[in-house]
Amino acid sequence: MKFSAQNEYGKVEEVYIKSIEDGFRNQSELDNHWKDLGYLFQPDFDKACKEYDNFKNIIKTYATTVQSFPEDDLTGIDSIYCRDASIVTDHGVILCNMGKNQRNTEPESQARFFQSQGVSILGRVNTPGLIEGGDTAWLDQETLIVGKGYRSNAEGVAQLKALLNPYGIKVLSYDLPHFQGPQDVFHLMSIFSPVDKDLAVVYSPLMPVAFRQMLLQNGYKLIEVPKEEFYSMGCNVLALAPRICMMTKGSPKTEKLLTDAGCEVISYEGKHISVAGGGGPTCLTRPFKRAV
């Protein structure tokens, strides 16, 4: 079996996560920082730990190898959303440069751990370039999609192209809408979650028209999340394998649409680990290798 980092829907082989104990640390950390970081409400540490244990057990059921980023003084409570600090390629890791200032030390923290594990660093995005991993998604093994908004900018895209063009990888970028402004958690993957080579969960009212048209032209079937379930994180869906989907509880209409499309849906209680901080299962994981 072949494996690749440049895939969003193959069976997960290796994935990185960051535990609640190492990210949130304790209730005092949450009490001190949840408002400044724009959380919807104050998470409860003990409840978050229980939710995360269930979340991790689901991941371990499908992934052969689960690695955990360690506690690090460089990082805060947002670091549990570990997808955002890096982009993984078959040629090494690209370290991001975060658009959310409070998170700007997370890439260096991940770099330390990757290097301790012998993982190659392909490069990094530097100021004035901005890129967050939640704004990137592999359409196929030769095409990386990037959403440009408040977290990722044109200079960041230019630097990604310079790093990836030598390997024949195309970087396609699309402008994201203002929506709720620079303080909101809004990424490309807030509106686009691929769950198979030709199937994606989307929230079309906030999609760039050119991006949506491109998906349709490439033969994608789009599962349209209803408005009320966009706010319950119905569009944040992690593929554990083709058409095996993981999502937070609370979006029954989207779950049915996925089931009707032939998908298996595994939902988890995520009030304190996902809903509070606006980070669903795609945000809580940094997939490293998938079967292709």
Strand arrangement of the beta sheet that strand 221-224 belongs to: 192-196, 199-202, 221-224
Dist CA 105 CA 214 (whole Å): 35
Alpha carbon distances (Å) from 197 to 138, 239, 292:
10, 11, 10
Mean pLDDT score of the chain? 97
**Under 8 Å between Cβ of 117 and 34:** no
Q: Give the residues across from 253 on adjacent strands.
A: none
**What digits encode the pLDDT tens for the residues 221-261?**
999 999 999 999 999 999 999 999 999 999 999 999 999 99
179-205 in b/e form (b: 16+ CB < 10 A) is eeeeeebbbbbbbbbbbbbebbbbbee
Is the predicted pLDDT of residue 214 greater than 90, yes or no? Answer: yes
Is the predicted pLDDT of residue 185 greater than 90, yes or no? Answer: no
**What digits encode the pLDDT tens for the residues 100-155?**
999 999 999 999 999 999 999 999 999 999 999 999 999 999 999 999 999 999 99
User: Which pLDDT band holds residue 89 (cuts at 50, 70, 90)?
Assistant: very high
Mean pLDDT score, 209-229: 98
The dihedral region occupied by 26, where left means phi > 0, alpha psi between -120 and 50, and beta the remainder, is beta
Sign of the dihedral defined by the CA atoms of residues 262, 266, 271, 277, in that order: negative
The string of DSSP letters for 8-67 reads: SSSPEEEEEE--HHHHT-SHHHHHHHTTTTT-SSPPPHHHHHHHHHHHHHHHHHH-SEEE
**What digits encode the pLDDT tens for the residues 38-77?**
999 999 999 999 999 999 999 999 999 999 999 999 999 9
What pLDDT does 183 receive? 87
Is the predicted pLDDT of residue 290 greater than 90, yes or no? Answer: yes
Dist CA 269 CA 31 (whole Å): 21
The structural domains of the chain, ordered by start, are: 3-291 (3.75.10.10)
